[in-house]
């Protein structure tokens, strides 16, 4: 396009060395992806110099926007430590902060990503219980490891090629928010190590856990010695300072974090009950099972410094009403979208939890089981048209909107203006 010739040229060049010209399947969108040069606060700026209000936030981590001072200053303060150092002193401070914020976090193990955090948490649960089976829910994503690329859609097919079904035989899948189905499985089996869930069901459409369901999960797992794991890679520091645990008032045994934890640097964490986390403790008594966990980059200094800066800023936001204000602004934006679409005769359904939302065009009541029928093609076109009008509400291919603390009233006003223009300019209703 005339607006983005440098992105177009980079994509042509990039395709020769990078599959699809990108470094991750979800980063591509048609006709070609944008390549970014920098970002500042609520804006991301492409290599052609176009600025976009960024509500995609790199799929969630940029809860504080681009280049937040609180994070950059901490990284700068620790720069002399070098990128990797044995047992860096700030490791302890970072763990103390996380433990102070997250209700279930009696102990903390840092690692590199959300995928790794889930792998480790499940291993600890299996080691602790001596059982193998893990319950996961349809529509929940837990990272890119083979075992958990099952049941992302309403059936059990492995997600994508190259994933042997044999790697998934210990994963039992259930419909989410279905108390009867869960209680039936509990009554039937005694070999379950863990129940794993993303309390927002983000990947499957952000349908969110019902509070009753979470309380049943908590009661039944506790009664059976099953480890309840909240995958808070998405919900952590987003549903509120204390993540889904704080939002729902349900404390799991273990929880996983990544994304917003380090606000853009790469850091994951498993946190949880001291007795369960003891399986990774080199000092555990010989009669306690010991689970292996190690990673060369587990405690990179920039990542830990970023996490300290980010968590300190989340605390400040929480104390000053920032989470409540962002929730209100996101709610107003969702209402604006629904009424703008309605004015053009298009039925829009929005799932929203705090600063996150996903959009569906549908006449009939929307639900996860009807997910495949929802009109994602039109929503993709809408996101693409918005990008051409300076608003990256989501990447067209992902339908993931994540507002950040960097978004101000002026940004939300500009989003509303772009939405009006796009709906007037393009014939979405046809
Ligand atoms: N769990 C959930 C709930 C996620 O949303 C994601 C990433 N979108 C992951 C785990 C995997 O995290 P990562 O991409 O850091 O491996």
Could you give the angle at the alpha carbon of 159 between the alpha carbons of 155 and 161, nearest 5°? 130
Domain extent for 404 = 5-67+322-425
Q: What is residue 427's predicted lDDT score, i.e. its pLDDT?
A: 77
- Mutate-to-test residue for ligand 1 from 112, 142, 145, 232, highest number of ligand atoms within 8 A of CB: 142
pLDDT in 10s for each residue of the chain, 430 residues: 689 999 999 999 999 999 999 999 889 999 999 999 999 999 999 999 999 999 999 999 999 999 999 999 999 999 999 999 999 999 999 999 999 999 999 999 999 999 999 999 999 999 999 999 999 999 999 999 999 999 998 888 899 999 999 999 999 999 999 999 999 999 999 999 999 999 999 999 999 999 999 999 999 999 999 999 999 999 999 999 999 999 999 999 999 999 999 999 999 999 999 999 999 998 887 788 999 999 999 999 999 999 999 999 999 999 999 999 999 999 999 999 999 999 999 999 999 999 999 999 988 778 888 776 677 888 999 999 999 999 999 999 999 999 999 999 999 999 999 999 999 998 776 5
Overall number of domains in the chain: 2
- Mutate-to-test residue for ligand 1 from 23, 110, 258, 298, highest number of ligand atoms within 8 A of CB: 258
3-state SS record for 310-353: HHHHHHHHHHCCHHHHHHHHHHHHHHHHHHHHHHCCCCEEEEEE
Question: What is the CATH classification number for the domain harbouring 233?
Answer: 3.40.640.10
Q: What is residue 342's predicted lDDT score, i.e. its pLDDT?
A: 96
Of the residues 319, 348, 372, which one is the last residue of a structural domain? 319
Please tell me whether residues 121 and 236 are part of one structural domain.
yes
Tell whether 430 is covered by a domain.
no
Of the residues 319, 345, 378, which one is the last residue of a structural domain? 319
Please tell me whether residues 272 and 303 are part of one structural domain.
yes
For the Cβ of 114 lying below 6 angstroms from any atom of ligand 1, the answer is yes
Confirm if 414 and 53 have CB atoms less than 8 A apart. Answer: yes
Tell whether 265 is covered by a domain.
yes
Please tell me whether residues 277 and 342 are part of one structural domain.
no
Please tell me whether residues 74 and 102 are part of one structural domain.
yes
Q: What is residue 115's predicted lDDT score, i.e. its pLDDT?
A: 98
CA of 268 to the centre of ligand 1 (A): 10
CA of 215 to the centre of ligand 1 (A): 24
For the Cβ of 243 lying below 6 angstroms from any atom of ligand 1, the answer is no
Atom 6 (ligand 1): residue with closest C-alpha? 143
ipTM: 0.99
Query: How much is the pTM?
Result: 0.97
CA of 390 to the centre of ligand 1 (A): 27
Q: What is the CA radius of gyration of the chain?
A: 22
CA of 142 to the centre of ligand 1 (A): 6
Please tell me whether residues 143 and 185 are part of one structural domain.
yes
Tell whether 176 is covered by a domain.
yes
Element (H, E) at 52: strand 51-54
**Residue whose C-alpha is closest to residue 415's, from 35, 49, 55:** 55
Q: How far apart are CA 397 and CA 21, in angstroms?
A: 16
CA atoms within 13 A on the CB side of 279: 22
Residue keyed to tokens 């990108």: 22
For the Cβ of 234 lying below 6 angstroms from any atom of ligand 1, the answer is yes
Could you give the angle at the alpha carbon of 51 between the alpha carbons of 46 and 54, nearest 5°? 95
Of the residues 265, 296, 319, which one is the last residue of a structural domain? 319
Question: What is the CATH classification number for the domain harbouring 337?
Answer: 3.90.1150.10
């Amino acid at each position: 396009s005339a607006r983005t010739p440098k992105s177009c040229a980079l994509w042509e060049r990039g395709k020769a060395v990078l599959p699809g010209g990108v470094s991750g399947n979800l980063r591509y969108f048609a006709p070609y992806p944008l390549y970014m040069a920098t970002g500042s606060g609520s804006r991301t700026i492409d290599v052609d110099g176009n600025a976009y209000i960024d509500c995609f936030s790199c799929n969630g981590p940029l809860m504080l926007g681009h280049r937040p001072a609180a994070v950059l200053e901490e990284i700068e303060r620790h720069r002399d430590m070098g990128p990797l150092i044995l047992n860096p002193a700030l490791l302890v401070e970072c763990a103390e902060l996380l433990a102070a914020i997250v209700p279930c976090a009696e102990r903390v193990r840092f690692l590199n990503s959300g995928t790794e955090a889930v792998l480790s948490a499940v291993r600890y649960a299996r080691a602790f219980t001596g059982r193998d089976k893990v319950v996961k829910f349809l529509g929940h994503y837990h990272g890119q490891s083979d075992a958990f690329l099952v049941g992302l859609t309403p059936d059990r097919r492995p997600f994508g090629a190259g994933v042997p079904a044999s790697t998934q035989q210990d994963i039992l899948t259930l419909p989410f928010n279905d108390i009867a189905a869960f209680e039936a499985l509990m009554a039937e089996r005694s070999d379950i190590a863990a129940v794993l869930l993303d309390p927002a069901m983000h990947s499957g459409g952000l349908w969110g856990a019902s509070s009753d369901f979470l309380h049943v999960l908590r009661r039944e797992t506790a009664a059976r010695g099953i480890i309840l794991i909240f995958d808070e890679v998405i919900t952590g520091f987003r549903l509120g300072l204390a993540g889904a645990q704080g939002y729902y008032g349900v404390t799991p045994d273990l929880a996983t974090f990544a994304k917003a934890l380090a606000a853009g640097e790469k850091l994951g964490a498993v946190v949880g009950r001291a007795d369960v986390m003891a399986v990774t403790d080199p000092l555990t008594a010989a009669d306690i099972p010991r689970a292996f966990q190690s990673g060369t980059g587990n405690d990179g200094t920039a990542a830990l410094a970023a996490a300290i800066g980010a968590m300190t800023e989340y605390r400040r936001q929480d104390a000053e009403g920032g989470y409540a204000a962002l929730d209100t602004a996101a709610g107003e934006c969702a209402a604006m979208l629904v009424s703008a679409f309605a004015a053009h005769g298009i039925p829009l359904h929005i799932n929203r939890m705090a600063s996150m939302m996903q959009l569906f065009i549908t006449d009939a009541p929307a639900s996860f089981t009807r997910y495949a029928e929802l009109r994602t093609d039109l929503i993709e076109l809408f996101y693409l048209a918005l990008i051409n009008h300076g608003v990256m509400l989501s990447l067209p291919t992902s339908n993931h909107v994540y507002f950040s603390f960097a978004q101000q009233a002026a940004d939300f006003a500009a989003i509303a203006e772009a939405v009006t223009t796009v709906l007037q300019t393009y014939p979405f209703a046809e």
